[in-house]
Amino acid sequence: MEPTHYDLIIIGSGSGNSLIDPRLDGLTIAMVDDAPWYGGTCLNVGCIPTKMFVLPADHVVDADEAARLGVTQQTTAVDWPAIRDRIFGRIDPISAGGLDWRERQAHVGVYRETATFVDPYTLALAPSGRRITADRIVLAAGSRPRQVVEPDADVEHLVHTSDSIMRVDELPARLVVLGGGFVAAEFGHVFSAYGSQVTMIIRGDRLLRREDEDVSAAFTELVSQRMQVATQERVQSISAGPDGGVRVTTVAADGTERHHDADLVLNATGRIPNGDRLNLPAAGVEVDDAGFVKVDQYQRTSVEHIWALGDVCQPCMLKHVANREMRTVMHNLLHPDDLVATDHRHIPHAVFAHPQIGAVGATEAELKAQGRPYVVKTQRYGDVAYGWALEDQSHFAKLLADPQTGKLLGAHLMGPQAATLVQQLIHMMQFEQDIESVATQQYWIHPALPELVENALLGLVEQRREWLAGRLRAAGDTGQVS
């Protein structure tokens, strides 16, 4: 059977699907994706449904915390099936509609099969055995959950990942969460708020260890007030529990064996790129030691006509990064003689747990490791007007700046609306605005919560002035600062 030839093959229907817009109508395109859903991780099992589960959880926690404001509320019930069905009653039709639309486009061939390279221009499809070729190929194959320990066969159905946990039939009375990253934190928040007894098991001593250390430590302390956090434990096995559930056996730092019994287990120990499923060596596409496809600033792989975007090549694994890289690939496919690069300088992220986190740029530990001078200001929510209204006692913004240039180096917010409040700080870093002009040359609405950012910036300005004054004094008041 002769291969079917296309101008372009795209592997992956997440951000890769967004490549197929009217600008490419003149090309014949193959879309290949063997996932059980269409539209990628974010739409079906990632960002969108998880945040739709988070919002009801936030309402529950808000009701629980209203007492400090003089309001007594009580959450009498959380209807898990109703929440689940409302969410996927919206998402599933969108996924199905997207697939239907693609399949009806005359210039697009959709293949719900597994693709592997035969050579740099040819893909074999399974299970059909068909082959397709193209002049150019885009790898947007995404990622999948990492398996920490293979569960015993008789409890496999009780061990879930983020791909499946949102569709379970009943809310578990007890849930063990393996991992301490953002996926674990968000699901821990959801299930504990809904009424599950949640135990989080982590190998280290803090949750969200990639955050700034002050944020990570404070987050761990606050979460430990709502659920059990088992630190410095390594999972050894997942087997049947004594009560018909599932048992997670761990080894603690002191070598003792511990048991955690639950009704369900959520494996949230990270994700791995799907490049290893594509037989990349047959195409000559290089990967790094962690399995991510190597790309240059233009999103080209080591093979000139093969491009990559999103989780398959980007360790941060964020949808907004995949979308940005998609726009780069789109331009470069259309303008091969005028390539543009993806700007990865200031990649922000957020954690939609309780408390919420928004961050961009360097952590304090990273600046110390680099030996880079910096000034730092930590601003408490409770010290600004809206924070008073919230009676906030636990949350803060931490900003770091270069004392020589006055440019922001990092921003780390933990508390209400953190993922929104950080946006102006992303803007500052992207457009290289200095802290003093942003803090003093615009109006900040009083008593709105953005005053948290204003006061943090004003504090940084003062820290910078003191740093510069100290350098002048050290130089003998000569004005020649080394």
Assess contact for 30 and 109: CB atoms under 8 A.
yes
Q: Spell out a b/e string for 84-122, using b for 16 or more CB atoms within 10 Å of the CB, else e.
A: beebbeebeeebeebbeebeeeeebbbbbbbbbbbebbb
CA 198 to chain centre: 21
Instruction: Give the CA angle between residues 326, 407, 419 to the nearest 5°.
Output: 50
Buried b (16+ CB within 10 A) or exposed e, 362-398: bbbeebeeeeeebbbbebbbbebebbeebebeebbbb
Which residues are within 8 A (CB) of 471 and not within 5 positions of it... i.e. 6 or more apart? Answer: 481, 482
With tokens 């922000």, the residue in question is 348
Dist. CA 365–CA 362, nearest whole Å? 8
- The identity of residue 151, as a single letter, is P
Catalytic residue from among 259, 335, 344, 446: 446
Active-site residue flag, 346: no
Residues sharing a CB contact under 8 Å with residue 423, sequence separation 6 or more, in sequence order: 348, 358
Q: What is the DSSP string of 12-81?
A: -SSGGGGG-SGGGTTS-EEEE--SSSSSHHHHHHSHHHHHHHHHHHHHHHHHHHGGGGT---------HH
Name the one residue in this structure whose structure tokens are 């910078």: 464
**Strands (DSSP E) along 87-140, which ranges?**
108-111, 114-119, 122-126, 131-139
What contacts 61, CB < 8 A, 6 or more positions away?
189, 193, 354
Instruction: List, by residue number, the catalytic residues.
Output: 446
